Structure formats: C-alpha cells, structure tokens
Amino acid sequence: MAQMQLPEVWREVAWGLFGLGVTALAFAGAAWSYPQGDETIWAIGGLTMAAVAILSGREVMRVHAASPADR
C-alpha cells in the first residue's frame, strides 16, 4: 500500500495547528485548575498562542519559498 504524502506546506500548517491546539489545552487546564487566576492565565495564553502562530507562520513561509513547485 502506498504511503500518502502531504505537501510540505500542508505539513507545516498541520504542525502549527497542532501546536496551537496543545497550547490552548495547556492553558485551559491551567485556567480550570486555578479559577482565581483565570483572566491572567488566558491573557498570557493568548500571547503565547499568538507567538506560536507567528513562529508557525514563519516556517510555513520558509517552506513555501523553498518549495520547487512554485518555480
């Protein structure tokens, strides 16, 4: 049976979304376990998720620029 290969850009997008999901779950667990700090936890979580999205976006752009399909 042949292995399914996703394009590199799609793989980077999938890993970025996975990273965002894991980050959201970690902060959701923290906010659930410490309700008094809910607002602060989610503020820091939002900034962390923004950083993950920016770093993932940079990787997607790097892979997209290096892909031979566009040349």
pLDDT at 5 over 90: no
**Torsion of the alpha carbons at 10, 13, 17 and 22, rounded to the nearest 10:** 100
Contacts of residue 45, defined as CB under 8 A and 6 or more positions apart, other chains included, come to 23, 24, 26, 27, 30, 31
Looking at residue 36, its pLDDT comes to 97
Could you read off the pLDDT of 11-52 as tens digits, one per residue?
999 999 999 999 999 999 999 999 999 999 999 999 999 999
Q: Which of 54, 60, 57 is nearest to 7 (CA)?
A: 60
Instruction: Report the alpha-carbon angle 31-17-63, nearest 5.
Output: 145
Single pTM value for the model: 0.82
- What's the pLDDT band for 6 if we cut at 50, 70, 90? confident
pLDDT at 67 over 80: no
